[in-house]
Structure 1
Amino acid sequence: MIPAHILRPTFISKKQIRPGACRYFWGWLNAVFNKVDYERIKDFGPDRAASEWLLRCGAHVRYKGFERWQQDYNGLPTGPLGKFKIQAINATDSCIMYRGFDHLDGLEHVEEIKLCKCIYIEDTCLERMSKIENLQNSLRRLEIISCGNVTDRGIIALNTLRNLEYLFLSDLPGITKKQTTVEMLQTANPSLHVELDLD
């Protein structure tokens, strides 16, 4: 006969969970979501692999020639390789992080990126993004909002995005030298319009 205590369901209260354990678990899981599968990029193309990465992490994508945003990972479009090219990325509330940014390397049509309330976005992410040659050519609009780990260093790194036309910065407590930072960006790219909401 099975002892009664084995049959009883076990409930774990919040008090029994070690402080920080949940945070560690989610950090580990998000790191898994951001892992780059280079074989998949090779087999299915950079846009498909990047779409999977972004949607897996909670971001949305819009493809060139389409108005609708793709939000459902299980509803990713199928068809000939190369048909669906990412034109815009909305990473609001997503868990994208530095280790996943290699997915952006092969994207040739990204014109807009929105980084809003992204807890893992930091200066190294912006520095990595600014070194991607395809983004230097294609990116036109960039919004960075409520990303608490971004500082002047990360924003200044964006000066290599030579075709950037519009940059919106809001709720970034790490930006402490906003006038100097904006001047450096506009010196590198005189046609860049920077909109600030940092007060």
Structure 2
Amino acid sequence: MAAPRAFLRLIPPKWNGGKRGFRDLSGVVTPEGNRRKRRTLLQFLSDHFCDMEFLRENVLQKQMQKVSLENRSFTIIQDKYGRDIAGACFILQHGGSVKFRDREWIRSDEYRRFSAEVLKFQAVPVEAIDASGCAINYHGLDNLLPLKKLQCLSLQRCPHVDDWCLSRLYLLADSLQELSLAGCPQISERGLACLHHLSNLRRLDISDLPGVEYPGLTQILVEEMLPNCEVVGTDWTQEGPEEQPQDPASPIHAKPAARDLGDPCGVS
């Protein structure tokens, strides 16, 4: 808990005029803040917090409150302008980008401000969203799941996207064709198993997931789970023990023929 700014410095009793008692405490009980001397950062923190652990918890709590506030539902905008406008405003206020059908990409500036012309696209559905690096969490998906025409969704490097978030993406199964989860630190194999509902998915990026213990094996399982989807991730063919050098003339060392994987799903 927070400590007071000033501490009372008690001194042991001393003899005063032949009588046992305390001296005049006017010069002893002095607030530390009244002393004019340079204070270090550690001294300042020690005067305001009992320990550094409390400071750390306080900072984390403030950050989580900010994330929770930023992921509130845009119900007022949705009621007035529709769910596509509400989802677009939510992403743009997080610093992401949106693309309406037959329109150019719309991006917010460095201060997360964007043009009010977005409100004119009430009759145009959102077909692509780039939320790379945005602080979107489980509750913030309430603004994206109603987008029934959404085809491409990028959640790359989103720090708060976890397995619980992936368990809600089944609501986009009818339209979603491309999904990127690259670099999300809180996604594991359990969350990827929830993607079996996305039967229309054509391209899935699961590269660089630190929460996945066996990325090569996981990619194989995801490919079997989504046979019509191109899964981008770890090159599992290069995992395992190092191969011994082979004779160039040996047929085993011959270069295999390249496979035609076709063009990946993309957004112009």
- Same fold per superposition (TM over 0.5): yes
State how far apart, in whole Å, the 1-side matches of 2:108 and 2:233 are.
29
In structure 2, the residue matched to 1:10 is none
In structure 1, the residue matched to 2:94 is 57
Give runs of aligned pairs for residues 87-98 of structure 1, distance below 5 A.
87-98=127-138
Tell me: higher relative CO, structure 1 or 2? Use CA pairs within 8 A at least 6 residues apart.
1
**TM-score normalized by structure 2?**
0.62
Q: Secondary structure at the match of 1:106?
A: coil
In structure 1, the residue matched to 2:107 is 70
CA contact (8 A) 2:208 2:233 kept: no
Q: In the TM superposition, what whole-angstrom CA distance separates every residue of 1:49-84 from its partner, at most 9, and x where no partner exists?
A: 11121122222212111233332443142325223x
- Identity value in percent: 24
State how far apart, in whole Å, the 1-side matches of 2:97 and 2:59 are.
25
State how far apart, in whole Å, the 2-side matches of 1:27 and 1:60 are.
23
Q: Which structure 2 residue ranges, 5 or more long, are not aligned?
A: 1-32, 34-40, 50-54, 240-268
Q: In the TM superposition, what whole-angstrom CA distance separates every residue of 1:19-56 from its partner, at most 9, and x where no partner exists?
A: 34333222211211111143432332111111121122
For the pair 1:167 / 2:167, whether they are aligned, the reply is: no
Q: Which one has the largest radius of gyration? A: 2
Q: Secondary structure at the match of 1:19?
A: helix
The number of residue pairs the alignment matches comes to 186
State how far apart, in whole Å, the 2-side matches of 1:57 and 1:24 are.
20
For the pair 1:101 / 2:179, whether they are aligned, the reply is: no
Question: Please, which of 230, 233, 241 is the counterpart of residue 196 of structure 1?
Answer: 233
- What CA RMSD, in Å, does the superposition of the two structures yield over aligned residues? 2.6
Q: Which structure 1 residue ranges, 5 or more long, are not aligned?
A: 6-12
| Greater fraction helix | 1
State how far apart, in whole Å, the 2-side matches of 1:59 and 1:23 are.
24
State how far apart, in whole Å, the 2-side matches of 1:117 and 1:182 are.
19
Alpha carbons of structure 1 residues 63 and 70: separation in structure 2 relative to 1, 3 Å: farther
